[in-house]
Structure 1
């Protein structure tokens, strides 16, 4: 149905005492509430924001998705706008959900494949890049100069190679020579150096940094070390010499990479990182559930999805522990939640803080509301594993990786863990690109999709408008995911975006 024909409100669960405005509602307008009763809008309400379906007393729980998202801070009347001015965070712990049965396994003869680049270690890439990685910020300029030399027409000599990507960062020295900070950086860089979307890598250091290139490479399997060339600026004789030597190494790797060809592989080789950013009131209604439906299809066909952003599942973790593959998996997730509570307290912060200004403008009131919508990206499959930041993802199915909520840091960890495709939902308009991993942007509403047509790859707005079900959108998205893994370019790839999104999580003392 069209937006004009669809009901003005979206009720997400029968027990909810609020509904979401499908369209902007004018003050004093008489609308039909779910069930058909008349409801007067007491104040103008933007699309995506919440309206009270009945009176809510001060201190009473506000329910959305059938789950608490906060408590009323003042008396709320039926027809009131429900948002930050009259809702506070709930003080009690989230309810414990009952454990659920594992997801339905893949039916025989129902396999789906994609076209990917099979590497020597057996992993499969969705793209065919050459990487130029810096061990330290001091070598970042050299890395960028080398990669820039292969932009534009320079790649014509290497057909089939998607490009040369400089992976640079702001760390690698001024840090302890041992401990969590260095371990995490090395784990992240190793994940990129061995990523299947890179056919080969040149790793460049200055020479005197804490994060030395030799120990960085020594921790890798022999098969991975074969496609990594190492260079230090001081041993090369300076920046100009290092750039020239680096360019020659890239030429050699690119010539080899140009012989690679896509072949048909099982979907079990596809690993998707799930992200949401610039969320709005529709995120948990349209794009996130649609992505969850696509993830369920991916998992049924043997693939893997990585759910992350621990601070943004806070308050909804019970929905994940309820479907953990074992009590041990559930406890690992809860242990990371406890770590984040301590980490936030050490810095004078709280995890139950309000969402960002953009989130609030889009209709999200509390972190609980945001978290409940964010968890929907993971679909309904069994949670098979919980890993720490940038750790290699070994399990198939749905996996949780502990990361910050900041999108570039979170996605960097997912790519380091093996994600060879990113799906990024947004309601406000995030434009995240991610070399060497293609990033699909999924719009929560049609207005965004039409306003930013050169950035949004998929429109989930039909769910809001009532013209498409979540299942239908999920199937369409699943097909797009498979096509993208097989070589279809995302819009960010078409525009050349994604060269500056490598942002490792920095922990430990800076000295």
Structure 2
């Protein structure tokens, strides 16, 4: 029986033959029949119901994988959630799969060819900041450029984007935190969605603008400008200086023209946020299908959020070489030590909203989250904001906090973000546009102005995973050619630059 047939016939679905819990496709009232047993309590939509008795300490299976162990004896028909399910170190085996190369007809989009060979999908001018102290000046420069009509004569420029953050000083001038912030700033500057970039500093901060420009080979480049507020004489003069620099940079950025480009040049960051019990059933598998199509076309997709693959890492190992698996294991080891050092646990994730939507443990959340990476081989593992160096499916280490993770992906070279959500997410990204995909049709109807593609019909029989995957790829290529996303239309993207801050604030 297909997923759609199950959903139409009964109020629960079985995701794998070995599962001892089923997922409620709609509310299951107490006493309702569920595979021959009576529900012992009301089961909310997206939540789990046991279809066999499970002894305390025994594993609970969903997707044919372990999502935790029973903390008490669970009777058949019982609601399975936080009150009787806890995380475990147990994993089911995953066999290495010999994947047959997928063939996709050639696809293209209209993109901006850059001098370094990469291709952008937007053509922004960025106003980056080296330190929090210059954030207001950067915003004032961008606001005044828009207000004054400075962009009116430059139709090929999509806008001026202020990229501000809360760090850049009060930190050690060397070490992991310092290197990570500089790498994030550099990678963002280099993203091919920027046609030109201005860097604004205060002058006395730890991240020195002149040294930054020198170390990363930016000094003297026509498409890069930098100055500090202290050097030019204060806030008002800094805004004037910024506008004067923009007048020099805008004609340069405006030279760019969209040209026909193979889909292989697209670099897609994968995100999920506000996940629910349907995310791993509808939107994430549909995005995974689109990823497999993109990879078959020679493109690149970037999976991230390391804490949210915990419990599903063995499925990724089965798709990688020994060397790539070792890189991934090293990042998970770092996270286990990091959380322990700060008195936390990997199972501190899922969030309250995830749990309200039916997700109980990080293992369950991760098994659903990994589905958005499709089935393509994992070809590389990179650190946060490290440049992508391989085509295909790549993993970038990052926290599970979506804006922070997406910031790292953009710095690594992602020119677009695909973001699945079940509870609803208000997110956008500049310079890389973000499309949002809903796991259920109810949230799509409620937040239709925020969500681009509804994957809910997969559950009710209105579409298959493959059909939605093809629709998502079509939508991605349209957006890459200039179609605005819902978040762009709403004005998102100016406050979502959130670098990963590691180390002591001093």
What TM-score range do you get, normalising by the shorter chain?
over 0.9
1:97 aligns with 2:100: no
| 2:12 and 2:23 in contact (8 A); partners too | yes
**Pairwise CA RMSD of aligned residues?**
1.7
Q: Deviations over 1:323-343 (max 9, x none)?
A: 11x211110000000001111
| 2:7 and 2:25 in contact (8 A); partners too | no
Cα deviation for residue 30 of structure 1 reads 2.9
Partner of 1:171: 167
Q: Which secondary structure does the structure 2 equivalent of 1:149 belong to?
A: helix
Partner of 2:183: 187
Q: Which secondary structure does the structure 2 equivalent of 1:156 belong to?
A: coil
Instruction: Map 1:445-484 onto structure 2 (within 5 A).
Output: 445-484=440-479
Partner of 1:76: 74
Q: Which secondary structure does the structure 1 equivalent of 2:337 belong to?
A: helix
Of 390, 393, 409, 2:388 maps to 393
| CA distance 1:238–1:223, change in 2 (3 Å) | closer
Instruction: Please give the alpha-carbon distance, in whole angstroms, between the structure 2 residues aligned to 1:281 and 1:30.
Output: 21
Cα deviation for residue 252 of structure 1 reads 2.2
Instruction: Please give the alpha-carbon distance, in whole angstroms, between the structure 1 residues aligned to 2:471 and 2:103.
Output: 19
Cα deviation for residue 2 of structure 1 reads 9.4
Partner of 2:27: 24
Of 233, 240, 251, 2:236 maps to 240
Instruction: Map 1:328-477 onto structure 2 (within 5 A).
Output: 328-477=323-472
Q: Which secondary structure does the structure 2 equivalent of 1:15 belong to?
A: coil
Cα deviation for residue 179 of structure 1 reads 0.9
Cα deviation for residue 292 of structure 1 reads 0.4
| 1:2 and 1:467 in contact (8 A); partners too | no
Partner of 2:60: 62
Of 141-150 and 74-83, more deviation after overlay is shown by: 74-83
| 1:103 and 1:382 in contact (8 A); partners too | no
Instruction: Please give the alpha-carbon distance, in whole angstroms, between the structure 2 residues aligned to 1:351 and 1:197.
Output: 34
Instruction: Please give the alpha-carbon distance, in whole angstroms, between the structure 2 residues aligned to 1:100 and 1:279.
Output: 27
Instruction: Please give the alpha-carbon distance, in whole angstroms, between the structure 2 residues aligned to 1:142 and 1:238.
Output: 10
1:286 aligns with 2:282: yes
**TM-score, structure 1 normalization:** 0.95
Instruction: Please give the alpha-carbon distance, in whole angstroms, between the structure 2 residues aligned to 1:121 and 1:171.
Output: 29
| 1:431 and 1:441 in contact (8 A); partners too | no
Instruction: Please give the alpha-carbon distance, in whole angstroms, between the structure 1 residues aligned to 2:443 and 2:497.
Output: 26
| 2:171 and 2:206 in contact (8 A); partners too | yes
Cα deviation for residue 405 of structure 1 reads 0.4
Instruction: Please give the alpha-carbon distance, in whole angstroms, between the structure 2 residues aligned to 1:499 and 1:254.
Output: 19
Instruction: Please give the alpha-carbon distance, in whole angstroms, between the structure 1 residues aligned to 2:196 and 2:218.
Output: 14
Cα deviation for residue 322 of structure 1 reads 0.8
| 2:267 and 2:416 in contact (8 A); partners too | yes
Instruction: Please give the alpha-carbon distance, in whole angstroms, between the structure 2 residues aligned to 1:224 and 1:84.
Output: 58
Q: Deviations over 1:434-464 (max 9, x none)?
A: 0111000100000000001100101000111
| 2:218 and 2:224 in contact (8 A); partners too | no
1:301 aligns with 2:301: no
| 1:354 and 1:365 in contact (8 A); partners too | no
Instruction: Please give the alpha-carbon distance, in whole angstroms, between the structure 1 residues aligned to 2:474 and 2:7.
Output: 29
Cα deviation for residue 106 of structure 1 reads 4.4
Q: Which secondary structure does the structure 1 equivalent of 2:195 belong to?
A: strand
Partner of 1:125: 120
| 2:200 and 2:227 in contact (8 A); partners too | yes
Instruction: Please give the alpha-carbon distance, in whole angstroms, between the structure 2 residues aligned to 1:328 and 1:436.
Output: 33
| 1:273 and 1:422 in contact (8 A); partners too | yes
Q: Deviations over 1:295-315 (max 9, x none)?
A: 000000000000000001011
Query: What runs of 5+ residues in structure 1 fail to find an aligned partner?
Result: none
Instruction: Please give the alpha-carbon distance, in whole angstroms, between the structure 2 residues aligned to 1:446 and 1:3.
Output: 17
Q: Which secondary structure does the structure 2 equivalent of 1:506 belong to?
A: coil
Partner of 1:218: 214
Of 36, 43, 63, 1:45 maps to 43
| CA distance 1:96–1:30, change in 2 (3 Å) | closer
Q: Which secondary structure does the structure 2 equivalent of 1:133 belong to?
A: strand
Instruction: Map 1:153-164 onto structure 2 (within 5 A).
Output: 154=149, 155-164=151-160
Cα deviation for residue 220 of structure 1 reads 2.7
Cα deviation for residue 394 of structure 1 reads 1.2
Cα deviation for residue 291 of structure 1 reads 0.5
Instruction: Please give the alpha-carbon distance, in whole angstroms, between the structure 2 residues aligned to 1:122 and 1:221.
Output: 17
Query: What runs of 5+ residues in structure 2 fail to find an aligned partner?
Result: none
**TM-score, structure 2 normalization:** 0.96
| 2:102 and 2:293 in contact (8 A); partners too | no
Q: Deviations over 1:49-72 (max 9, x none)?
A: 111111112111100000000111
Cα deviation for residue 244 of structure 1 reads 0.4
Q: Which secondary structure does the structure 2 equivalent of 1:484 belong to?
A: helix
- Number of positions where the alignment pairs a residue of Structure 1 with one of Structure 2: 502
Instruction: Please give the alpha-carbon distance, in whole angstroms, between the structure 1 residues aligned to 2:201 and 2:213.
Output: 12
Cα deviation for residue 223 of structure 1 reads 9.9
Cα deviation for residue 251 of structure 1 reads 2.4
Instruction: Please give the alpha-carbon distance, in whole angstroms, between the structure 2 residues aligned to 1:333 and 1:457.
Output: 32
1:116 aligns with 2:119: no
